[in-house]
Structure 1
Amino acid sequence: MSKPAKDRAEHRLDVGSRWTAWAAVSVSVLAVSSLGGGREAWAQTKPADDGARAKAEVVTPRPEPAAAAPPAVPTAASTAVNLPPQPATSAARTGAARRGPPVWRLEIVAPKPLDELLRNYLDLSRFQSQAQAASPTDADDGPDDATPTQASTRSQASSGVAPASAAATPKAATAPAPGGRGTVAATITPAQPNTAVPTRSLGDTSVISRSELRRLVAAAPDQARSLIEAEGYFTADIKVSLSEEVPGQPMVARLEVIPGPKASVRQVQMVFEGTLDERVSKGDPDAVALAARLDKEWALPQGAAFRQAQWSAAKNSALATLRAEGYPAAVWSGTAATVDATAQTARLYVVADSGPAFNYGPMRVEGLNYQPESAVLNVADFSPGEPYRESELLDFQERIQKLNLFESVFVSIDDNPAVAAATPVTVQVRELPLQQATFGVGVSSDTGPRVSLEHLHRLLWGKPWQAKSTVQLGRDESRLQTDLTSHPTPGRKRWLTSVLFAREIDDDDAVTLSQRFRFGQLDEDDKIERTTYVEYQRAKVSSKDGELLSDATALTGMRQYLWRDIDSQVLPTRGLTANVAVGPGYSFSKSDDNGVFGRAYGRLTWYKPLPGRWYATLRSEAGAVLAADKVGIPDTLLFRAGGDESVRGYGYRTLGDEQNGVTLGGRALLTGSVEVARPILAKLPELWGAVFLDVGDAAARWSDISLKKGYGVGVRYRSPVGPLRLDLAYGHDIREFRVHFSVGIAL
């Protein structure tokens, strides 16, 4: 839609910022608006002569003298107003006044959803709602034939029922009119004598005079036309009538709308001004790509139905894209929608002034008390002088939040065009407490009950390091662990140090004692985390009788990749996660031979939405240790299967290499899982039901693997901290049921 420079220059004469060429055209204005939503005021449409096309232009009609008014000509759009005659004499008017406020009801006959639109925004209908809300509830006893009670009802068959009028009582609701058009009505009867009536003050808004009622009815067609034109109907047939007043019966105000065909977009023309236009003219590839993207992503394309809401949304979306892609000072210098009411088509014109292109300037961090400024600056992946992109700023803000140093983070730029060459970047933070202690009590179907105490120091000894120490005591698992993590260094890298002492008791009462020391570096990207480390591990396994089953130590060098591309890290429903670790090592064994080995492990999880509000989760897992048969490997570097995150229906770590009635880790691992889930209750969408099938095994060799099956049903509660899962699984090979419950997801 954007033109070459020459055509663009010519077009500015027609639709430039001054819009001079449209200043003297026809008077059937539809809409001229700048950025913003809502229902803008619509200029009235003047019917065209027979055979001529009635077009909406950007001028306001000037009223002609009455003598010069042209004769009426038939058009597709028509309006009919039928009001009863007013009292001819002052005596008659006085008598009407003595009868008190009029008893009346409103009927709106229009297709859905126009009936609801008219009921919500038409003055005549809104008056009833306001009058009903303002009606007093106190009443005095006494006869009064002139003042009826007030109530209202809605038609059960139509969503577009207007509230009942003031001074009326509901009796019945009419059904929808034939042909799919809902009739908005409440049938009302006056109150009987000697009944309680509301007391009214002089300022009571629930009282409406006959003249005010006539005025509201007379104004209804113009209001209705403005509302439905905003929905894209420009040839509507609108009829309004008010029945004569008959004692004992309500007056009926009836509004009937036949909308006719809906207008569609015939042409869209987008023109650029400012730096973007200059760069497009010079063939700058980024500018050309941005202009093409704005053209392609325009939300109200040719052939689409024209509505004012979509017109505003399309402008907002295009301008937001332009501002996000390096032009934060961009504005619309002019926009217009020209409607041919006869042909039911709309032509859209937009002129975007991009303003200057912005580049990053100096960065300032506000709100720091303890933490060094480098903790923030080192996670930025842009430098002063580079082009501004909103997505980079949002990613930068998210990375700061993940540092676990700040309670709140807000990143912004100065969008003043005067500083576009080097716009300052401001980071506002609020720090978390320097130290934090957490006491926890929990239970797991894998390891049983446990208690834990965790301490976190966010600036250890005044240095840019975080220290997290954990003490956990449990029935089946206890551990003491300390992790040291540096603040990010330039290039978004961190140093890692970890020490772990653990004790585990398996279902066969075998006891595993292990120690681990690790040192390495974490390299973070937006989707991939790469960890490189060296590790010392020792594991000692004994039977319940104290017999030593395995005792080995290993020194390994590992490279681990964690890749995430999911819609949510807490409650994912779409995307992939992958965890891969590989590396060599050397083992020292007290019961077997020493030697070199290699270890590899991978886990892939796929989340996929399905039709019917179903969601699928597919998981596969594999691992292998390559070494000579006689080389002893620490049990903590071998593999086992079974449990909540493995093969449900089997105990935690119960699938492995069987030796003398005790399960040890195997050198081969293979598991897989298929699960489908969906919400159970419409009123509680967080509660899901699930069915699943798990298979897998771990063994000393690949040839020894015999896939065990587990299947069952479960429920999921999608809490803010992750899914709470409760499963009933059947272990097919052991013919036993087992309950599993856990919190969160495994990556």
Structure 2
Amino acid sequence: MAGCFAFFACCAVPAQADPAPPSNSLSPTSAVAFAWTVRSRDPNIQDFLEQHMSLRRYQALIDLDTTELTRLLTDADEQARELLATLGFFNPELRWQHDQTAAPNGSGHLGQVTLEVQSGPATRVTQVQWQWLGEMTDHPSGVALQAIIEKQWGLPPGETFTQMAWDRAKTKALRQLLAEHFPWGRLAQSQARIDTLNNQASLTLAMDSGPAVRLGELRISGATKYGVQQVERLARLAPGQAYRQNDLLEAQQRLVLSGFYDSVFINLEPEGQPAQAPVNIELKESLRQRWQLGVGVRSDSGPRLTAEHTHHSIPGLHWRAVSRVAVDKDLQSLGVELLAPPDNSLWRWNTSAQLQRRQQVDGEISSQRWRAGRIQMGPRIDRSYFAQYDVATQQNNSLGAVESFSGNLAWTWRDFDSLPFPTRGLGLGIEWGAGVSLGPVQQPFVRWLAKGLNILPLGERSGRIALRASLGSVVIQDTQNLPTTQLFLTGGDNTVRGYAFNSIGVDLGNGQIGAGRYLSTGSVEWQRPLRWKGAASDWETAVFADVGAVANALPLLKPQWSYGVGARWRSPIGPVRMDLAHAQALNKWRLHLSVGFTF
């Protein structure tokens, strides 16, 4: 067909497009043979050509003469057209200007070179033809997978054809094929036929699924201290089950999150039989004992010292023991947790004890919490049920120690695209408990707390919106008979920024704040990535507004607002947050620093 040519699977940026040095490699005062620039109504085209064309590299050859530059400009015209073709523009109008009288900073003896680009109409996809090969054509799930891949194809008719979009769409389709049942699939052929006269693209793809694969035996290496049986329980990869890439990823995540292994690698044996393909699990076990010491600074309470000791297998019991100590000017705490190995359903017995002394706005509170129950932790869902005993003694409280006993359930669900740096997703959590206050006056009570986080993407350049909310209440006849640790306070780094930690509560008069039976918080935050030379960096900006309220009666819930700006850094140890927030009720600014993502 006249005026047509084809892009095959190996098509990429033309070989003539030698990578140019970074745009800042030639400073304004550097000696150059000539100056050159690109002019286009589309800044993306301008940046793309200036980055990839070879002319910039030849600027440094200050011994160039006019004849050599003329030859270079002839080659550059062809190179520019090939580069524009990768962006979907096959009929551009290029106008070259060479002004030998203009010299950059007096150093360019060959003058100024300017390329004016009229890109013309973009090429659009008119049809996509699929050919399916392999066992998936007769496999029930394979037929459904075909429909999903075709429906979610990234370059459908009507879309603008570019080389990058073409490569990205093929990569996505192949990943979808490999993720379910067919790990040995391949892209057998791909072709993009371009009608340059009509600016149209016709796409053809052939996908070969290969055989449907089922998992075989687990080949475990490196399991010397904690045994093979524990690996099998955590991995939960049963011989004979259909291959799913996500099953292997979740198994790897469970093993890493268990804390017993420093590194885990899981892969399918590439030369295995499709009916029973062995699964290789390579482990590097953690040390039986580990000490961690930390020194940090909290914006709410200043310098902080922490120490943690972990014993992965207590002799005789074979449970894990974790002991923690944390000290700062407002909070001193000591805690011990014992965690049993997981059973076949990943449930684990656990028990813990925690002693705290906290300095709050309304005085000092000393508390103890003892807990025993079972927990099941997964990549997406955590569940637990436990019995809990609380006792708290508050300074200037005539009642002395206040105690309670309760039974509790907790459930957390996470569906985020990436942890600990999510860019989209939803998280929900709920805690529910029922019990009785102890002491001279015994009163039954019910406590519940619900929380949610929704991260909504706005686009690659626009970032995302993060929405947080929490609601909670305690139902009891008189809150004075309940430990304050069972009631609610809010404010601080992770709730209502601009206010000190747990400084929002019930106004007791004389400047004192007490815990209350009702809690409500909310937050909206716009997180936007900072870009450097067209690419997203490890830094982000944030603009936010927070609100929270605590009261002993619903009509008395009085919102406390704050707003501010912040920065985010994707550090090796997790996200680092730096926020400057203004507390509206106090008319004061407060700096908040925190590390990590939790939900």
Q: What's the TM-score once normalised by structure 2's chain length? A: 0.79
- Counterpart position of 2:254: 399
CA contact (8 A) 1:550 1:635 kept: no
Determine if the alignment matches structure 1 residue 521 to structure 2 residue 374: yes
- Structure 2 vs 1, CA of residues 462 and 361 (structure 1 numbering), >3 Å: closer, same or farther? farther
Q: Are the structure 2 counterparts of residues 605 and 265 from structure 1 closer, same or farther at C-alpha, using a change threshold of 3 Å?
A: closer
Partner of 1:636: 485
CA distance in 1, matches of 2:543, 2:6: 52
The equivalent position to 1:362 in structure 2, one of 192, 202, 217, is 217
State the match for 2:448 in structure 1. Answer: 600
- Is 1:424 aligned to residue 274 of structure 2? no
Please tell me the residue identity of whatever aligns with 2:356.
Answer: A
| Residue 360 of structure 1, CA deviation | 1.0
Question: SS in structure 2 opposite 1:323?
Answer: helix
Output the amino acid matched with 2:442.
N
Which of these residues, 179, 198, 203, is aligned with residue 324 of structure 1? 179
SS at match of 2:143: helix
Q: Report the residue type matching 1:542 in the other structure.
A: Q
- Aligned pair partner of 1:154 in 28, 35, 44: 35
CA contact (8 A) 2:17 2:79 kept: no
Asked if 1 retains the 8 angstrom alpha-carbon contact of 2:254 and 2:378, the reply is: no
> Does residue 1:741 correspond to 2:592, yes or no?
yes
Q: For the Cα contact (< 8 Å) 1:676–1:692, is it kept in 2?
A: no
Q: What are the residue-to-residue correspondences of 1:265-414 with 2, within 5 Å? A: 265-279=125-139, 284=140, 286-307=141-162, 310-339=165-194, 345-414=200-269
Q: 1:702 aligns with which of 554, 563, 566?
A: 554
Alignment CA distance shift 1:498-1:235 (3 Å)? closer
Aligned with 2:290: secondary structure? Answer: strand
Q: State the partner residue of 1:3.
A: none
SS of equivalent to 1:374? helix
The equivalences for 1:79-478 within 5 A come to 120=18, 152-157=33-38, 159=50, 162-163=55-56, 169=62, 188=65, 264-279=124-139, 284=140, 286-307=141-162, 310-339=165-194, 345-416=200-271, 419-461=273-315, 464-478=318-332
1:38 to 12, 19, 29: 12
The root-mean-square deviation of aligned C-alpha atoms, in Å, is 4.3
CA distance in structure 1 between the partners assigned to 2:282 and 2:400 by the alignment? 54
Q: Residue type matched to 1:366 in 2?
A: S
Residue aligning to 1:97: none
Q: Which amino acid aligns with 1:702?
A: L
Among 469, 477, 501, the alignment partner of 1:652 is 501
Distance in 1 separating the partners of 2:59 and 2:423: 51
1:718 aligns with 2:569: yes
Q: Any conservation in 1 of the 2:388–2:406 contact (CA below 8 Å)?
A: yes
338, 341, 350: which one aligns with 1:484: 338
Counterpart in the other structure of 2:467: 618
The residue that corresponds to 2:515 in the other structure is 665
Measure the CA separation in 1 of the matches of 2:438 and 2:564. Answer: 45
Deviations 1:371-392 (A, max 9, x none): 2223332233442211111122
Return closer, same or farther for 1:517/1:157 CA change in 2, 3 Å cut-off: same
Structure 2 distance, partners of 1:645, 1:539, is 24
Residues 469 and 350 (structure 1 numbering): CA distance in 2 closer, same or farther, change over 3 Å?
same
1:102 aligned partner: none
Structure 1 gaps, min length 5: 1-25, 42-117, 134-149, 171-185, 191-207, 241-248
Q: Distance in 1 between matches of 2:379 and 2:401?
A: 40
Distance 1:392 1:152, change over 3 A: farther
In terms of fraction of residues, the more strand-rich structure is 2
Distance 2:576 2:331 in 1: 23
SS at structure 2 position matched to 1:385: coil
The alpha-carbon deviation at position 674 of structure 1 amounts to 4.0
Q: Which amino acid aligns with 2:132?
A: F
Give the conservation status (yes or no) of the 8 Å contact 1:168–1:189.
no
- Following superposition, the deviation at residue 411 of structure 1 comes to 0.9
The AA in structure 2 aligned to 1:622 is L
SS state at 2:567 partner: strand
Query: Cα–Cα, structure 1 residues 534 and 338, in superposed 2: closer, same or farther, change >3 Å?
Result: same
The 8 Å contact of residues 656 and 666 in structure 1, kept in 2 or not, is answered as: yes
Identity over the aligned pairs, expressed in percent?
Answer: 28
Amino acid at match of 2:444: V
Q: Deviations over 1:22-50 (max 9, x none)?
A: xxxx99994485x5453689xxxxxxxxx
Report deviation, 1:275.
0.8
Q: Show the counterpart of 1:533.
A: 386
Q: Is the 8 A contact 2:498 2:580 kept in 1?
A: no
What SS does the aligned partner of 2:12 have?
Answer: coil
CA distance in structure 2 between the partners assigned to 1:166 and 1:525 by the alignment: 57
Three-state SS of the structure 2 residue aligned to 1:460 is: coil
TM-score by length of 1: 0.65
Q: Distance in 1 between matches of 2:115 and 2:304?
A: 70
**CA contact under 8 A between 1:599 and 1:625: conserved in structure 2?**
yes
Q: How far apart, CA to CA, are the structure 2 residues paired with 1:588 and 1:324?
A: 55
Aligned match of 1:173: none
Specify the alignment match of 2:47 in structure 1.
none
Answer whether contact 1:334 1:350 (CA < 8 A) is retained: yes
Task: Spell out, residue by residue over 1:405-424, the C-alpha distance to the aligned partner (whole angstroms, 9 max, x if none).
Answer: 222221100233x6000111
Q: Is the 8 A contact 1:729 1:740 kept in 2?
A: no
Distance change in 2, residues 1:152/1:287 (3 Å): same
Q: What amino acid does structure 2 have at the position aligned with 1:629?
A: D
Q: 1:499 to 1:156 in 2, by over 3 A?
A: same
Tell me how far apart the structure 2 counterparts of residues 663 and 218 of structure 1 sit (CA, whole Å).
78
Q: Output the CA distance in 1 between the equivalents of 2:114 and 2:598.
A: 63
| CA-CA distance at 1:539 after TM superposition | 1.5
Q: How many residues align?
A: 561
Equivalent-residue separation in structure 1 for 2:527 and 2:193 (angstroms): 49
